[in-house]
Structures are given as structure tokens and as C-alpha cells.
């Protein structure tokens, strides 16, 4: 079976579930669809199809990119927040999956627990896409990989440094780099390092691609020679009460001119946004010549269109 057929009808819960060849195929397809859009070539792959979008966490980029993506592919996106569903009144995730599958051709969910996404996928009869959980953010990292490839011309052999909280973005970057042969160094404070099970799984993925994974508490070590520097907010959604405590702990991990002096001279800077200038990143970096954060934000659209087109097309 070829890769395109192998992807048809699949769920996207984690990049760990996909082979290196499949991830590279998704990126190739995203680049192809991006070019078709630029040239105004018809690519209505999902004409007459509907995507249910469940949002238990709010979003700008996720909602707009999926909704616009479905429109450009000829389909329709249906926005459902927590108040629109019976989940808040006790209907199970399993029953929600069973019911929605009778109406729609795919489901995207942005929520808290990874187990909820897994349960939805188990009982839904249509592809389920993880739009973000507290554990993983696979769609964001597909956009990141597409952006890096556009600016660097390749992925394998590059070094990516991630500074900050060992969160969902960090976890999916570990998988994304391991699957594409990128070396990744994560620097985070003690107590905020990435999940050990995720690191172990990523290291297993890295055996095939010979990707090197380094976990450290030293930001200078992580950034040394990096081709790509990435960070994220220090307090994610639901952690607002920890903001001040985290600001003090993470201060040495701010991405600024001093810390990036050790990176490759032509490094690029990524951030999934929204960003807090003066906290996890200085204005001189995110608004400077190394920043590609708005290319990255745009590529959420193209990467997700590739996912939608491959998983949901006939």
C-alpha cells in the first residue's frame, strides 16, 4: 500500500504514531497545496464534506486555520464549543464520538486530556485530529517542520534548541525531530523537564533516523550551534495562577540576543504564538531578522489542509 492510501481514514493523535516516511509525505503534500493556493489552482479535495471542531480550549490560530482550510478544500467546518455539546451535561466522550460520526466526515478536538482524544478516536467512525491537548500539539509541529524546511531547505541533520517549559509543544517537537532526523536539545528548569515517557518514546523513534536528543537544564548548552531556536509561553492555558512563580523560575531561559549569540549565525526563531514579549522572548528576537513566527503561523493552514486532505479524502 502506498503512503497516501495508508493515511486515508487515519487519526492524528500524536506524531509518534506516524512513520518518518508518512510525516515527510504530509509535509510534501502541504507544500504542494500551498503552491496550488498561491497559483489559484483548484484543490477542492473535500467538496461536500464536514469537519466538526470541538473546542474545550479557546484558540485563534487553530480555529481560523481549520475553518479556512476546510473552506479552501471545498468542505465545511462546524464550530462546537463546550456549551454547544452535551459533554458538559454528562454525555460520554464515547457517545459523542458515536453520534458525531453519523453526521460529519472528520472531528478535530482541542481539549485538556490526551485520554479524551484517544477515547474519542476509539469510538468515532471518522478520522479524529488532535488540535491540542495538555500533553501534545502535533498540528503545530507539522507547521513548524514545514517552516523549517522552507527556510533551511532540509530537516535531517539540523539542530533545534527548545528553551522553556517541557510542555505539549516540547513533547511534539521531540517526536517531530526524532521522526525527521533533526537533532533536538531541550533546556528546562528542574521540575519542568519534558515527560520521561515522551522522551523515552522519542528516543526510540530517533534510532531509525539517527536523531540526537539532549535534555538539559543549561540553556547555553542547548542553544550552542542551533539552526533553529524555539520557545513557548511559560504559563500555558490553565496555569495562569502560576504565572509569577514561573516567571522567576524561567527567567534564565528567555530567548534573547545574549543567549542566541551561541546559536548558528543564520538561526531561525519559532514560537507557536501568542507570545509575551519581555517574558519567554525579547522583542529584539521575535521582531528581528531571525524570526519566522508569522510564516510559521501561516503554515498552520497549509499543514492542516494536508492532514485534512489526506485523512478525509475519498
Instruction: Kindly state whether residues 151 and 77 are assigned to the same domain.
Output: no
Q: What is the mean pLDDT of residues 255-264?
A: 98
pLDDT reading at 244 higher than 90: no
Active-site annotation holds for 110? yes
Q: How far apart are alpha carbons 154 and 298 in whole angstroms?
A: 19
Q: Give the residue among 171, 213, 178 at the shortest CA–CA distance from 194.
A: 171
* High-pLDDT (> 90) share of the chain, %: 91
Phi, psi values for residue 199, rounded to 5°: -60, -45
Confidence band (pLDDT; 50, 70, 90) for 84? Answer: confident
The pLDDT, as a whole number, for residue 1 is: 62
State the residue for C-alpha cell 489542509. 305
C-beta atoms surrounding 154 within 10 Å: 12
Instruction: Kindly state whether residues 282 and 176 are assigned to the same domain.
Output: yes
Full domain range(s) for residue 111 = 3-136+300-312
From the candidates 170, 171, 272, 290, which is the catalytic residue?
A: 272
Instruction: Kindly state whether residues 122 and 170 are assigned to the same domain.
Output: no
* High-pLDDT (> 70) share of the chain, %: 98
Dig out the grid coordinates for 241 from the structure: 495562577
Q: Is 110 annotated as contributing to ligand binding?
A: yes
Give how many domains the chain has, as a whole number: 2
Q: How far apart are alpha carbons 121 and 96 in whole angstroms?
A: 11
Confidence band (pLDDT; 50, 70, 90) for 72? Answer: very high
Instruction: Kindly state whether residues 24 and 151 are assigned to the same domain.
Output: no
The pLDDT, as a whole number, for residue 48 is: 97
Q: Is 60 annotated as contributing to ligand binding?
A: yes
The CATH number for 120's domain is 3.40.50.1370
Active-site annotation holds for 137? yes
Instruction: Kindly state whether residues 164 and 228 are assigned to the same domain.
Output: yes
Give the mean pLDDT of the chain: 96
Instruction: Kindly state whether residues 176 and 286 are assigned to the same domain.
Output: yes
Q: Give the residue among 294, 216, 228, 215 at the shortest CA–CA distance from 255.
A: 228
Q: Is 62 annotated as contributing to ligand binding?
A: yes
Q: Residues 286-308: pLDDT tens digits?
A: 999 999 999 999 999 999 999 99
Instruction: Kindly state whether residues 180 and 117 are assigned to the same domain.
Output: no
The pLDDT, as a whole number, for residue 132 is: 97
Instruction: Kindly state whether residues 108 and 174 are assigned to the same domain.
Output: no
pLDDT reading at 239 higher than 70: no
pLDDT reading at 88 higher than 60: no
The pLDDT, as a whole number, for residue 83 is: 79
Confidence band (pLDDT; 50, 70, 90) for 236? Answer: confident
Instruction: Kindly state whether residues 304 and 279 are assigned to the same domain.
Output: no
Q: Residues 90-142: pLDDT tens digits?
A: 789 999 999 999 999 999 999 999 999 999 999 999 999 999 999 999 999 99
From the candidates 232, 254, 271, 302, which is the catalytic residue?
A: 232
Instruction: Kindly state whether residues 108 and 196 are assigned to the same domain.
Output: no
Q: How far apart are alpha carbons 138 and 70 in whole angstroms?
A: 18
Q: Give the residue among 100, 104, 99, 51 at the shortest CA–CA distance from 73.
A: 51
Active-site annotation holds for 266? no
Q: Using an 8 Å Cβ cutoff, are 295 and 151 in contact?
A: yes
Q: Using an 8 Å Cβ cutoff, are 254 and 280 in contact?
A: yes
The pLDDT, as a whole number, for residue 276 is: 95
Phi, psi values for residue 37, rounded to 5°: -65, -45
Q: What is the mean pLDDT of residues 163-168?
A: 97
Q: Is 237 annotated as contributing to ligand binding?
A: yes
Instruction: Kindly state whether residues 119 and 160 are assigned to the same domain.
Output: no
Q: Which position has the higher pLDDT, 46 or 92?
A: 46
Q: Using an 8 Å Cβ cutoff, are 52 and 160 in contact?
A: no
Active-site annotation holds for 170? no
Instruction: Kindly state whether residues 286 and 190 are assigned to the same domain.
Output: yes
Q: Is 140 annotated as contributing to ligand binding?
A: yes
Amino acid at each position: 500500500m502506498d503512503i497516501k492510501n495508508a493515511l486515508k481514514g487515519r487519526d492524528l493523535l500524536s506524531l509518534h504514531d506516524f512513520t518518518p516516511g508518512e510525516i515527510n509525505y504530509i509535509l510534501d503534500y502541504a507544500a504542494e497545496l500551498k503552491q496550488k493556493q498561491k497559483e489559484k489552482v483548484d484543490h477542492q479535495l473535500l467538496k461536500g464534506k464536514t469537519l466538526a471542531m470541538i473546542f474545550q480550549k479557546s484558540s485563534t490560530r487553530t480555529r481560523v486555520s481549520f475553518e479556512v482550510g476546510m473552506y479552501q478544500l471545498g468542505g465545511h467546518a462546524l464550530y462546537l464549543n463546550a456549551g454547544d455539546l452535551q459533554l458538559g451535561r454528562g454525555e460520554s466522550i464515547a457517545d459523542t464520538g458515536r453520534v458525531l460520526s453519523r453526521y460529519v466526515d472528520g472531528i478535530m478536538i482541542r481539549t485538556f486530556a490526551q485520554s479524551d482524544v484517544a477515547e474519542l478516536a476509539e469510538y468515532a467512525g471518522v478520522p479524529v485530529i488532535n488540535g491540542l491537548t495538555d500533553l501534545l500539539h502535533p498540528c503545530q509541529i507539522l507547521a513548524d517542520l514545514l517552516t523549517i524546511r522552507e527556510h533551511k531547505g532540509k530537516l535531517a541533520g539540523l539542530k533545534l534548541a527548545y528553551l522553556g517549559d517541557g510542555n505539549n509543544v516540547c513533547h511534539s517537537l521531540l517526536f517531530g525531530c526524532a521522526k525527521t532526523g533533526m537533532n533536538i536539545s531541550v533546556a528546562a528548569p528542574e521540575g519542568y523537564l519534558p515527560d520521561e515517557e515522551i522522551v523515552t518514546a522519542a528516543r526510540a523513534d530517533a534510532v531509525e533516523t539517527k536523531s540526537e536528543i539532549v535534555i538539559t537544564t543549561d540553556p547555553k548548552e542547548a542553544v550552542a550551534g542551533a539552526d533553529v531556536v524555539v520557545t513557548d509561553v511559560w504559563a500555558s492555558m490553565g496555569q495562569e495562577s502560576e504565572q509569577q512563580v514561573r516567571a522567576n523560575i524561567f527567567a534564565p531561559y528567555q530567548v534573547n540576543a545574549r543567549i542566541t549569540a551561541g546559536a548558528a549565525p543564520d538561526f531561525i526563531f519559532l514560537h507557536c504564538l501568542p507570545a509575551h514579549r519581555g517574558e519567554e522572548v525579547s522583542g529584539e528576537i521575535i521582531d528581528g531578522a531571525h524570526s519566522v513566527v508569522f510564516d510559521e503561523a501561516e503554515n498552520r493552514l497549509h499543514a492542516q489542509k494536508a492532514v485534512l486532505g489526506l485523512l478525509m479524502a475519498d
